[in-house]
Amino acid sequence: MELSVRVMVVGAGVIGLTCAWRVAAEGFDVTLVDPAPASGSSWVAGGMLAPVTEAWPGEETLLELGLSAVAVWPSFAEELTAAADRPAGLRTEGTVVAATGTGDRAELDALAEHLARLGRTVQRLSGRELRRLEPGLGPAVRGGLSVPGDLAVDNRALLNALQHAARRAGVTFVGATVRGVLDDGTRVTGVRTDQGELRAEQVLVCAGAHSAGLHPALAGLIRPVKGEIVRLGHRTGALPPPARTVRALVDGRPVYLVPRDGGLVVGATQYEAGFDTEVTVAGVRDLLRDAERILPGIAEYALLETAAGLRPGSPDNLPLIGPIGPEGLLVATGHHRNGILLAPVTAAAVLEVLRGGSVPAPTDPRRFRRSECT
Ligand code: GLY
């Protein structure tokens, strides 16, 4: 029966590609519609798999979801590497968090205490201890944390592997722009694209920050949250990049440096500016200034790229995964800062729904519509 189910996935970022691959690998007939697969915020991303160091007091459900996601990442990466016959890009060296001034150290202490209350102890380190782990850290670093369980992935290697795995699993790629999801008042009938209409029994919207405009049931639920990054390349003679992801607070501003083969991704700014993806002078200036305070050696690196992406923010910072609106409409979006981390568990949840199972309440997209229905 499952073989006859036809699923149209809208959006080939990390969520759409992962869902398409996993669903097709289970025997579903999957079409993936996107004019530019593997672009947008998935391409811009730093690639941290970092539930602990992305944790905020008050977001305990997100922390639990992230911890369950990071736990499956090693086996997910292994399966993907085999399915795609190329590396998935996982890095298992872990993460350190560095603080400069006393205010920054106090904030990290508060984070460590918050995590300890939740039963997650992280190791506090002095500046000297941190420099023993990562000798490139500069003298401005006065203390911090070691979080070996927060991992990272080379997002571009990942996207490459996902596209190959999806094609090998039989996913049909269609290079069209979806303008909206169509329904007959009761159930989904397909999508309207810039190249005409496409029929489908099930439509899975994975269009990131652009999802809200695709069906009235999603209106107002997803907003774009801009983030800028800088890519740096190591040059001969410069200090080597760190082995671990380095996150830091510099005068209250967060910055992260994620190692890549031969360089670093430095990120990220965060502000709400609609669908603006222009890189600003101030954004790049702040990132480079703060990153250089933490790792002075980057001054000798090559400036390779600047880019901006749009995180898909939801009202409660948790993703929306499952059915919403007319029968046959599914959504997997709203992953905000954690799309890459949550991709494997998102695809597993989508598969569960397609097989007739239920969705966990915290990420059920209908949680925002319940009050309107009663
Ligand atoms: N997860 C990192 C970011 O959104 O910038």
Q: Residue 139 in contact with residue 120, Cβ under 8 Å? A: no
- For 283-301, b/e burial (b = at least 16 CB within 10 A) is bbebbbebbbbbbebbeeb
Q: What is the number of the ligand 1 atom nearest to the C-alpha of 341?
A: 1
Pocket of ligand 1 (CB under 6 A): 46, 48, 227, 267-268, 311, 337
- For the whole model, what pTM was predicted? 0.95
CATH for 95-147+224-313 is 3.30.9.10
Q: Using 50, 70 and 90 to split pLDDT, how confident is the model at 374? A: very low
Nearest to 117 by CA among 55, 173, 178: 55
pLDDT at 371: 53
Residue-wise pLDDT tens digits, 281-300: 999 999 999 999 999 999 99
Residue-wise pLDDT tens digits, 220-260: 999 999 999 999 999 999 999 999 999 999 988 999 999 99
Q: What is the number of the ligand 1 atom nearest to the C-alpha of 340?
A: 1
pLDDT at 136: 96
pLDDT at 120: 81
Quick check: do 4-44+157-222+315-373 and 95-147+224-313 share a fold?
A: no
Number of residues written out for the chain = 374
> Which residue has a Cα nearest atom 1 of ligand 1?
337
| CATH H superfamily, domain 4-44+157-222+315-373 | FAD/NAD(P)-binding domain (3.50.50.60)
Q: What is the number of the ligand 1 atom nearest to the C-alpha of 311?
A: 4
Q: How many angstroms is it from 46 CA to the middle of ligand 1?
A: 7
Q: How many angstroms is it from 146 CA to the middle of ligand 1?
A: 19
Nearest to 330 by CA among 8, 4, 33: 8
Q: How many angstroms is it from 171 CA to the middle of ligand 1?
A: 28
* Cβ neighbours for 185, distance < 8 A, ≥ 6 positions apart: 326
CA dihedral sign, ordered 338, 267, 311, 80: negative
Nearest to 40 by CA among 72, 7, 17: 17
Q: What is the number of the ligand 1 atom nearest to the C-alpha of 268?
A: 5
> Which residue has a Cα nearest atom 4 of ligand 1?
337
Q: What is the number of the ligand 1 atom nearest to the C-alpha of 48?
A: 1
pLDDT at 213: 97
Q: Using 50, 70 and 90 to split pLDDT, how confident is the model at 171? A: very high
Q: How many angstroms is it from 153 CA to the middle of ligand 1?
A: 13
Instruction: Report the percentage of the chain scoring pLDDT > 70.
Output: 97
- Written in H, E and C, the secondary structure of 71-121 is HHHHHHHHHHHHHHCCCCCEECCCEEEEECCHHHHHHHHHHHHHHHHCCCC
Q: Give the whole-angstrom CA distance, residue 73 versus residue 54.
A: 17
Q: Give the whole-angstrom CA distance, residue 162 versus residue 164.
A: 5
* DSSP state string for 178-195: EEEEEE-SSBEEEEEETT
Residue-wise pLDDT tens digits, 183-217: 999 999 999 999 999 999 999 999 999 999 999 99
Residue-wise pLDDT tens digits, 45-94: 999 999 999 888 888 999 999 999 999 999 999 999 999 999 999 999 99
The residue whose CB lies within 8 Å of the most ligand 1 atoms, and thus the one to mutate among 44, 311, 341, 342, is: 311
Residue-wise pLDDT tens digits, 315-356: 999 999 999 999 999 999 999 999 999 999 999 999 999 999
Give the domain ranges of the chain: 4-44+157-222+315-373, 95-147+224-313
